[in-house]
């Protein structure tokens, strides 16, 4: 999807996102936090880790925890396949990988086509959804990375690696 920018649209009104699939739903995160996107590599299991922690990977000498977003969202685990990817995110000096079913595209959308998620969607498992983008042919669920992990979970991850 290409966005034509007119004089009335300023850069701050455009969201630049990386979209990805989990099951049949399309999600997106702000590209500002995305450091890289990797094919699935060997993930080492961590004993006694929460169920949503898939394990850790070695990324150029740095040990990075990998979170299975399917499990974090309350969905059943899925076998990894050729489309599975790890989106490496950095926020507040925490480097973490998010395991997703597939990465779709880098997309630019006007901020004004997003709105708060409907209350029926706002449950305990989905409180990290920041908004929903209404595109011409589909909906895009925007994730607030700061809410995927609680402060305690972030601190725990920093201590694990």
- How much is the pLDDT for 150? 67
Q: For residues 160 and 140, is the Cβ–Cβ distance under 8 A?
A: no
What is the percent of the chain where pLDDT is above 70? 80
pLDDT digits (tens, 9 = 90+) for 13-48: 888 999 999 988 899 999 999 999 999 888 999 888
Q: Are 107 and 114 in contact (CB under 8 A)?
A: no
Nearest alpha carbon to residue 130 among 146, 151, 150, 153: 146
Mean pLDDT, rounded, for 82-109: 92
Residue with tokens 């972030």: 154
Where do we find the tokens 């999600």? 27
Residue 139 has pLDDT above 90, yes or no: no
Mean pLDDT highest for which of 86-90, 140-144, 145-149?
86-90
Match 């507040």 to its residue by tokens.
Answer: 92
How many distinct helices (H) and strands (E) make up the chain? 3, 11
25: number of CA atoms within 13 Å, CB side?
14
Residue 30: what pLDDT?
92
Residues 120-129, mean pLDDT to the nearest whole number? 58
Contact (Cβ atoms closer than 8 angstroms) between residue 53 and residue 97:
no
Q: Could you give the CA distance from residue 56 to residue 67 in angstroms, rounded to a whole number? A: 9
Mean pLDDT of 111-115: 86
Highest mean pLDDT among 4-13, 20-29, 139-148: 20-29
Contact by Cβ (8 Å): 12, 108: no
Q: Topology of domain 11-160, per CATH?
A: OB fold (Dihydrolipoamide Acetyltransferase, E2P) (2.40.50)
Stretch 47-71: mean pLDDT, rounded?
Answer: 90
Among 75, 93, 90, 78, which Cα is nearest to 145's? 90
Question: What is the pTM (predicted TM-score) of this model?
Answer: 0.82
- The percent helix, strand, coil of the chain (3-state, each to 5) is 20, 45, 35
């Amino acid at each position: 999807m290409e966005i034509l920018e007119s004089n009335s649209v300023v850069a701050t009104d455009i969201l630049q996102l990386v979209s990805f699939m989990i099951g049949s739903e399309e999600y997106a995160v702000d590209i500002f936090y995305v450091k890289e996107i990797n094919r699935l590599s060997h993930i080492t299991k961590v004993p006694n880790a929460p169920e949503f922690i898939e394990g850790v990977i070695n990324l150029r000498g740095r040990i990075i925890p990998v979170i299975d977003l399917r499990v974090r969202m309350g969905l059943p685990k899925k076998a990894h396949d050729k489309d599975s990817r790890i989106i490496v995110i950095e926020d507040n000096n925490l480097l973490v990988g998010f395991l997703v079913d597939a990465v779709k595209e880098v997309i630019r959308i006007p901020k004004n086509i997003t709105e708060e998620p409907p209350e029926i969607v706002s449950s305990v498992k989905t409180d990290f959804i920041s908004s929903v983008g209404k595109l011409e042919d589909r909906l895009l669920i925007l994730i607030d990375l700061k809410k995927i992990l609680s402060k305690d979970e972030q601190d725990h991850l920093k201590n694990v690696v």
